[in-house]
Amino acid sequence: MALSLKFGIPPNPNLTCKRNYRPLVRCMAIASPKISKLSSYYDTLSLKSSEKLGMEDIKKAYRTMALRYHPDVCDPSMRLECTRKFVELNKAYRALSDSKLGEMYDLDMAVMDGFDEEENMRRVWTAQIVGLERRSKDRAARRNARNRGQGMPHS
């Protein structure tokens, strides 16, 4: 699965900012097809999956195939088959480009972390503990404030 997360800073009159960012948090999940399907998509685009393929290779292959199989271009007698093949081509191209995107994302993540499953797990719960410590401090502060019976300035 590939994910993207975008967010921005809300407009704040106190900040001397030339541009006003609108708060935007968007999360997309793109489902990527399974491995066996992927290999057939490679076949559809007449690509060898064993080669190291980048986005450019896939785009080029798609364009060549599309020029051949576009319903307007192909032989009128074979229009039905052409259309079907073209639809398949589209599907294959979309899926592969998405999976490429996904791979690149994976690579980014890996490069980011020096991908080690165990270390990753450790990082995850370490971060969670930091969050919990923050929460605990906040709650303890609130509790003390309540007990002392005076308001605390918002942090």
Nearer to other proteins, 31 or 140 (CB): 140
Interface residue with other proteins among 31, 67, 107, 127 (CB under 8 A) is 127
Alpha-carbon distance of 65 to 89, in angstroms, equals 8
CA dihedral 118, 121, 122, 127 (to 10 degrees): 160
Which range touches other proteins (CB under 8 A), out of 22-30, 43-51, 73-81, 86-94? 22-30
Q: Does 63 bind other proteins (CB under 8 A)?
A: no
35 is an interface residue for other proteins by CB under 8 A = no
Paired tokens of 15:
């900040």
137 makes contact with other proteins (CB under 8 A): yes
String of b and e for 76-88 (b: at least 16 CB within 10 Å)?
A: eeeeeebeebbeb
Q: Name which position in 13, 23, 76, 114 contacts other proteins (CB under 8 A).
A: 23
Is 111 a binding residue for other proteins by CB under 8 A? The answer is no
Counting contacts by CB under 8 A, is residue 107 touching other proteins?
no
Helices (H) and strands (E) in the chain, counts: 4, 2
Compute the distance between CA of residue 57 and CA of residue 38 in angstroms, rounded to an integer. Answer: 15
Question: What angle (nearest 5°) sits at the alpha carbon of residue 28, between those of residues 84 and 113?
Answer: 115
117 lies in the site for other proteins, by CB under 8 A? yes
Residues of this chain that interact with other proteins (CB under 8 A) are 1, 3, 5, 7-10, 12, 14-15, 23, 25, 27, 29, 106, 109, 113, 117-118, 120-125, 127-129, 131-133, 135-137, 139-140, 143
